[in-house]
Amino acid sequence: MQVFLDILIIVIVFGIILVSSNRISRFVLYFKLPLITGILLMGIIVGPEALGMINKESLTKLHFIDYIALPFIAFAAGSELYFIELRSRMRSIRWITVSQLVISFLLGSLGVFFLTGLEFFNLTQDFYGRIAISTLAGTIFVARSPASVIAVINELRAKGPFTRMVLGVTVLTDFLVVLLFALVISITDSLLSGNSLSFRTILLIFSELIVSFGISYLLYLFFKWILSFQFNTTLKAIIILGGGWSIHFIALGFNLLAETFINHSFYIEPLLVGIISSVLLTNYSPFRREFQKIIHDTIPIVYVAFFTLIGASISVDVVIKTWGVTLILVFLRIFTLIIGNWIGGTLGDDPPHYNRIGWMSFVSQAGMSLGLITVVADKYPVWGENFASIFVSVIVLNQIIGPPLMKWAIQIVKESHCRATHKSHAGPLEVIIFGYEHQSITLARQLVNHGWKATIATSRPNIPDPEINNIDIKYISEISRKSLEDVGSAEADAIVTLKKDNENFNICEIAYEFFGTPELIVRLNDRNNLKKFHELGALIVEPTTAIVSLMDHLVRSPMATSLLLGMEDDHQDTADISIRNPDLHGITLRKLHLPSDILILSTRRKGHNIISTGYTRLRLDDILTVVGSVDSIEELKRRFE
């Protein structure tokens, strides 16, 4: 009972540490470093070699978290391997994956084997121990980071054949590396226990793999059954976490039976079981989207707990002593990636420039690599802890240099679709409205009345002169970058699209990528297209719900809504004012000299609303949303802009 209470107290304290770790570790993002680096650093700080908030005894009692986290990390990796999305580049993906796996494993293992013979990297003198270290290191060389690759792809909005190849190779490699790891660790386990590779040993190794596949299939059926029920997704996430944890006990049970009846250990790799069951669920069940959502919502919590523990387990003195080895291992891995990618790309008929730079997209390592290291450290306590400390340093360095290298590669092949920088201009604000109809004419008139310069772009030829004062009407024959530039979209401060959804999206995408238009406003026709417009940062007006929402606000807040819509007759208005006056940079809101009838509603900085108080300091390009009289707003615009 006392042991249970001790563990409960340690878990509660660890939970408090995790909350702090999750918040404090985010400071590394300001230095453009991966979040994983911040979590590992927090683990080192609270670990036994620094503050001692987690001592070595507590680490031992918290070891059960690894057994929960590792299978879940495998679930996350397997959920990214969706075969249908890889078909178009399968030849290239297949050749590069196989080539990198073989080359990285063989050259990496050979290089590490020679390094283990040197005095500064001498973890063990035993010949079979050196084989175990080198082959396990070679396996870790193969591992990738799907999470990092997907994050870079989303950040750059990358798309194209190169991007599909990189994503396919990354997720397929992470699947195969677990299979390779299970095979390697079974062989090294036999060698280290003094058993030669006899027919009986080989038969046992294949039996371990077959049993692992069988358990994976049963776990897949169990998860499929759980996901078929309609109940809270949080409860489903807890059950999936528990299902992953159960793999550890199943593996222990099989090992106990084997040692009892055949006097031989029987190793089942939880990572392998987890990733196979996840791949089956992703590709052969109707619950793929729900499963991926559960993984996406839960994995940050798992990562914080797992990486904090890894950080606390790192031997800082070993890392300091072996920093030279870390650099050698990083360069050795990059060398194997260059060779493997060039051979695989050549066999897969990829363009030569893909073969030259493809390796840059595979440097990142994270969750799966650290998971493999944790298994090694747990299974081989004699040299496993020092092995883990060295290779965690390697992974952290790879994770720091990997994302920038991948961004560079994607930009070289011109598959990046980031938002362009908008060129500011003198004169009144400009808006381009696509689509000629009653609503576009009315909108243009209202904007002109508020001081905007409005242009209506239409694909309808031979429109009779509408005699609309101060509004330009321009003909656009097609939706292309050149045609949009011809009607003045490159200088526009806002673009409004009132056409079909596919045309609206093409206009918004061109404006996003080439012009960096600050505001994109879309009249949506089909709600199924909502997500792709949101990814461009567009503001959506959905006619089917807009009227209901408007009337709802008029009922609940008639005065505020009337004011925002300009329905009041007391000359009150709202406006967004951009801070362009350098004299205002750094001044707090309470020190601004504002007209008595002006109220600041919100402050927006770099696309994010910030909580505004009297002590909030302004920065150049901040946007203040204000309400007040028309005359006072115009005065503020002159002073602030």
Task: Mean pLDDT check: name the lowest of 179-188, 315-324, 385-394, 437-446.
Answer: 315-324
pLDDT digits (tens, 9 = 90+) for 613-632: 777 888 887 888 877 777 77
Structural domain boundaries in the chain:
59-412, 430-541, 568-640
- For a pLDDT cut of 90, what percent of the chain falls above it? 5
The helix or strand, by DSSP H or E, that contains position 518, with its residue range, turns out to be none
Q: What is the pLDDT of residue 334?
A: 92
Q: Which two tokens stand for residue 48?
A: 């036994």
Write the pLDDT tens digit of every residue in 305-330. Answer: 887 887 787 777 777 777 888 888 88
User: Measuring CA to CA, which residue among 395, 339, 344, 407 is closest to residue 367?
Assistant: 395
DSSP code, position 512: I
pLDDT above 60 (res 567): no
Residue 58 pLDDT > 80, yes or no? Answer: no
Euclidean distance between CA atoms 536 and 418, whole angstroms? 10
Give residue-wise pLDDT tens across range 6-17. Answer: 666 777 767 777
Q: Indicate if the pLDDT at residue 417 is higher than 90.
A: no
356 pairs with which residues across the strands?
none
Specify whether domain 59-412 bears CATH 1.20.1530.
yes
What mean pLDDT comes out for the span 26-35? 70
Question: If we measure between CA atoms, which residue out of 312, 249, 311 comes closest to residue 58?
Answer: 312
- What does the pLDDT average to over 111-115? 86
Assigned CATH for 568-640: 3.30.70.1450
More confident of the two residues 80 and 352: 352
* Residues 419-448 pLDDT 10s: 777 776 666 788 899 988 888 888 888 888
Quick check: 49 pLDDT over 90? no
| CATH homologous superfamily for the domain 430-541 | NAD(P)-binding Rossmann-like Domain (3.40.50.720)
What per-residue confidence (pLDDT) applies to 437?
83
* Confidence label for 335 from pLDDT (cuts 50, 70 and 90): very high
The answer, yes or no, to whether residue 381 has pLDDT greater than 90, is no
Task: Tell which residue, 428, 384, 316, 437, has the closest CA to residue 123.
Answer: 384
The DSSP bridge partners found for residue 609 are 604
Query: Does the global pTM surpass 0.75?
Result: no
| Residue range 240-266: mean pLDDT, rounded | 83
Q: Is the pLDDT of residue 94 over 90?
A: no
pLDDT, tens digit (0-9, with 9 covering 90-100), for 134-177: 888 888 888 887 777 777 777 777 878 888 888 888 888 888 88
Which position has the higher pLDDT, 606 or 476?
Answer: 476
Cβ contacts of residue 329 below 8 Å, gap of 6+?
Answer: 112, 115, 137, 390, 391, 394
pLDDT(331) > 70: yes
Summarised one tens digit per residue, pLDDT across range 454-479 is 888 888 877 665 566 678 888 888 88
Average pLDDT over residues 26-50: 75
Q: Is residue 568 over pLDDT 60? A: no
Mean pLDDT of the chain: 80
